[in-house]
Amino acid sequence: MSAAAFKARYAAYTLDLALLSPFVVGAAWRPLQVVQAAWRGMEGAIQLALDRAFAAGHIALLDLAGALQADAAFMASMTQGMEALFASLLSAGLWAWLVVAAYFIGFEASPWSATPGKRALGLRVLANDGTTVGLPRALLRFVAAGPSWLLLHLGHALVMFRDDGRAGHDLAAGTRVDGDAALPAWATAWLGLQAAAVALLLGWVAWTAMQAVMVLGL
């Protein structure tokens, strides 16, 4: 499988992510609002605890840390805030995962046999025998893709090194992706836009790090 085929699948995948992003944000919006409220509550609790500690004369760092640990109201607020924070983050992640799962599984199990991104690139997800994947196999394919995401997409990179162009989750689910590997002009531009965005991000990170080093050096 050529690098061009990998680019086609990557372009389709990132296009799907762009189409999905408003729905993911919408699904996770309410839990994220709770996250923001919990964070602000913790910031307020920290400020109040510091004010109490300073008023009591606890200025030295170690003395201040001990005063905060002995502040029952502060510790209770922090415990409550952390519990709300983690619960809300878990809820936001679960809702986001459900939206993503419904999108990929639903479209790949549909008569299209492809997500909108894959369909735009002329790609289809099929079983090894050329038939449609169906819901159980589409579900297995989606779940099997999880380890690839966690391992920095190493499972997806298999596409470039296998003659049959199958990624790790294709091997696990007994599927393959068929279609033309040639990229249309708009898809090439889409990949170029992503490359430019990454370059700008890396440049910003490098500039920020350099400024931090200069400040610390001064």
Q: HEC string of 108-124?
A: HHCCCCCCHHHHHCCEE
Residue 118 has pLDDT above 80, yes or no: yes
Together in a domain, 174 and 204: no
In which band, very low, low, confident or very high, does the pLDDT at 45 lie, cut at 50, 70 and 90?
A: confident
Global confidence as pTM: 0.78
Average pLDDT over residues 175-197: 87
Determine the pLDDT at residue 31.
86
Q: How many domains does the chain have?
A: 2
Together in a domain, 107 and 75: yes
Residue 133 has pLDDT above 80, yes or no: yes
Together in a domain, 144 and 193: no
Together in a domain, 190 and 170: no
**Per-position b or e across 174-199, b if 16+ CB within 10 A of its CB:** ebbbebebebeeebeebeeeeeeeee
- Closest by CA to 102, choosing from 39, 27, 161, is 27
Together in a domain, 175 and 98: yes
In which band, very low, low, confident or very high, does the pLDDT at 192 lie, cut at 50, 70 and 90?
A: very high
Among residues of the chain, what percentage have pLDDT more than 90? 31
The token pair at 100 is 């993503």
Together in a domain, 46 and 153: yes
Together in a domain, 120 and 205: no
Together in a domain, 197 and 113: no
Residue 156 has pLDDT above 70, yes or no: no
In which band, very low, low, confident or very high, does the pLDDT at 108 lie, cut at 50, 70 and 90?
A: very high
Determine the pLDDT at residue 157.
67
Range of the domain at 67: 3-183
Together in a domain, 24 and 116: yes
Together in a domain, 193 and 103: no
Average pLDDT over residues 23-48: 87
Together in a domain, 140 and 113: yes
Determine the pLDDT at residue 189.
93
Question: Which of 13-17, 144-148, 192-196 is predicted with the least confidence, judged by mean pLDDT?
Answer: 144-148
Average pLDDT over residues 191-213: 89
d(CA 43, CA 85): 12
Average pLDDT, the chain: 84
Together in a domain, 133 and 177: yes
Determine the pLDDT at residue 106.
94
Determine the pLDDT at residue 103.
95
